[in-house]
Structure 1
Amino acid sequence: MEYFRVFFIEYEVYFQVLISALLGFLIGWDRSSKHKPAGLKTYTYVAVACTLITIVSIHSVDSFSNPLIGTRMDPMRLAAQIVSGLGFLGAGVILKDGLQVKGLTSASMIFFVGGVGIGIGAGFYGIVIFATVITFILTKIGLIFEKQNEKPGSKQRKRAK
Structure 2
Amino acid sequence: MTAPAFHITVHGTPAPQGSKNRNAAGALYESSAKVKPWREAVKSAALDALAYDEAWLPLDEPVRVDVVFTLLRPKHHYGTGRNAGVLKPSAPEHPTGKPDLDKLVRSTQDALTDAGVLRDDSVVTAVLATKTFVLTGADALSHPGAVIRVWRLNKPKESES
- TM-score scaled to structure 1, two decimals? 0.32
Give the number of the structure with larger relative contact order, counting CA–CA contacts within 8 Å between residues 6 or more apart. 2
Q: Name the one with the larger helix percent.
A: 1
- TM-score scaled to structure 2, two decimals? 0.32
